[in-house]
């Protein structure tokens, strides 16, 4: 087996590992978001500004997660282009 083929297999393994770990992270974050939304909806003592701040924060987390995934996918594409 030549070095290029070995590197390609290593890259595919790393990419698969990242995608699986990232999917697990997304599921955990979505579950926490669901629980957080449920808690916020039931919290009568929380003012509307507080609820909006929490919703904005959750949206920022989701946007950051999506941008991170896009960045990593682009990096893998660049490395694959060298092969």
Whole-number percent of the chain with pLDDT over 70: 100
Q: What is the per-residue pLDDT for 44?
A: 85
Q: What is the per-residue pLDDT for 71?
A: 97
pTM of the model: 0.82
Q: What is the per-residue pLDDT for 82?
A: 86
Those residues whose C-beta lies under 8 Å from the C-beta of residue 51, and which sit 6 or more positions away, are 40, 43
> pLDDT tens across 9-33, in order?
999 999 999 999 999 999 999 999 9
- Whole-angstrom distance, CA of residue 78 vs CA of residue 46: 47
Q: What is the per-residue pLDDT for 36?
A: 86
């Amino acid at each position: 087996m030549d070095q290029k083929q070995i590197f390609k297999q290593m890259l595919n393994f790393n990419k698969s590992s990242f995608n699986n770990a990232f999917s697990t992270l997304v599921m955990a974050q979505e579950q926490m978001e669901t629980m957080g939304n449920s808690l916020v909806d039931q919290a009568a003592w929380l003012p509307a500004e507080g609820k909006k701040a929490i919703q904005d924060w959750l949206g920022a987390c989701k946007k950051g997660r999506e941008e991170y995934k896009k960045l990593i996918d682009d990096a893998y594409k660049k490395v694959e282009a060298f092969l």
